[in-house]
Amino acid sequence: MENPAKAAPAYRKSLGLVELVSLGIGGTIGSGIFVVPGIAAGIAGPASLLAWAAVALSASCVALSLAWIQARSPSGTPFLSIFEPVFPPLASGALATLYLVSSVFGIATIAAGLGEYFTFFSVPHVLAAEIFVIMAFLGLNLIGIALSSRTEVVLAAAKVVPIVIIAVALIPFIQVENLVPTEPVALADILAVAIIVFWPYTGFEISAIPVEETRDPRAISRALLIVMTSVCAIYLVLNTALIGAVGSEALAASPAPIATAAGILFTGAAPLVALIGIVTMFSALNAYIIGTSRVLQNLGGRFRIPRLAELTPRGTPKAALVVSCILAGCLLFFSNSFALLASIAVVTTLVPYIAICLVALRLPGGLREKAVAGLGAALTAAILVLYFAF
């Protein structure tokens, strides 16, 4: 008598609301907030705060649209299926592939951001250190989602609390004159800032990617709302406090602006804040590796690429994890420029973001949902189009 065929390995349902929120916050609050404030201040000075506010509105509309899409399905909507209600299969696959490209660039961007802070500590062989960290988190994720998600919870908590403390501590030092531009700022500069500022706001969608590993898919939409509310509040308060407390020029002159700001105002604080920045980027790197590998594994199944579609008995997408990290590492050999990598990551992310809003706009729903989706599509498209126009 023949033995029954063994069931194919499947993802394990290990994620609850806390883990999903940690993944979203982990993916969003990362290298961007510890590097971009200096770049943005150098381009547009205090006027860069306008870009932070505009992008917060755009990203929030996308997140709300995605939350609405997820809430419509009791079992959750896999990432590759999000675009299918509006776009034909080929276009849906192309959008998912474009998002995959952005995610791989995202891993490389976070690693490059780590390099900026390694430089702050005078770490030798920065590129080798960046590759080592990627490989270390690859090893962690190969063990399984239970360990990597628990790690993400710890890292997310370890970064959010200090960042909030830093923002609150800087508020008493704000000087109004630092928030007022001393000379006119060109529209092209604001748009250039908007693209680079969008990078710190991306990553929230990672909460909605591991649907097959979520115990209760209804938690996905709640996680997205919690993530974006937290992120927008932290970013807007922190950037206002940074520019108001130390001025745009001091931020622009540093590869680690938050550490520099803390060091100017609080003696001896800079190394500690820089260390917090590194922990923050560890969290973001782990979250991006989780999200990227799941999208790649799903695409491997969709396009019938056996090795990429396979899962280990632990429910781990081993091949997709390895390929994702190797591709990101290779990107760093071509360019270790944080600004360049972040710009490419954002541009390739915004197109799927616009598509998510269009899907939400076309689905049956009330006026409020359609207004949010329409605003998200319009704002995100405007940022993308005007960036290339100028």
Cα 274–Cα 156–Cα 277 angle in degrees, nearest 5: 10
pLDDT, tens digit only, all 390 positions of the chain:
445 456 678 888 989 999 999 999 999 997 778 788 888 888 888 999 999 999 999 999 999 999 999 988 888 888 888 998 889 988 998 999 999 999 999 999 999 989 988 888 888 899 999 999 999 999 999 999 999 999 999 999 998 998 898 889 889 999 999 998 877 777 777 878 888 888 889 999 999 999 999 999 889 999 999 999 999 999 999 999 999 988 888 888 877 788 878 887 787 787 888 888 899 999 999 999 999 999 999 999 888 888 898 999 988 999 999 999 999 999 999 999 888 898 899 889 999 999 999 999 988 878 888 999 999 999 999 888 877 776
Query: Measuring CA to CA, which residue among 295, 324, 318, 289 is closest to residue 152?
Result: 289
Residue 5, helix vs strand vs coil: coil
Q: DSSP strand E in the chain: where?
A: none
DSSP state of 202: T
Q: How far apart are CA 158 and CA 283, in angstroms?
A: 9
336 found inside a domain: yes
The total number of structural domains in the chain stands at: 1
- 352 with 57: CB under 8 angstroms? no
The domain that contains 71 carries what CATH number? 1.20.1740.10
184 found inside a domain: yes
Query: Measuring CA to CA, which residue among 254, 193, 346 is closest to residue 34?
Result: 254
9 found inside a domain: no
Domain boundaries, position 238: 17-389
> For the chain, what's the residue count?
390
Q: How far apart are CA 157 and CA 85, in angstroms?
A: 36
Q: How far apart are CA 344 and CA 382, in angstroms?
A: 17
Q: How far apart are CA 327 and CA 268, in angstroms?
A: 38
Please name the residue that has the structure tokens 């509310």. Answer: 229
Q: How far apart are CA 45 and CA 291, in angstroms?
A: 34
Query: Measuring CA to CA, which residue among 355, 382, 315, 365 is closest to residue 13?
Result: 315
Q: How far apart are CA 11 and CA 34, in angstroms?
A: 33
355 found inside a domain: yes
383 found inside a domain: yes
| CA–centroid distance for 385 within its chain | 21
5 found inside a domain: no
233 found inside a domain: yes
44 found inside a domain: yes
Residue 214, helix vs strand vs coil: strand
> What token pair was written down for 33?
């907030």
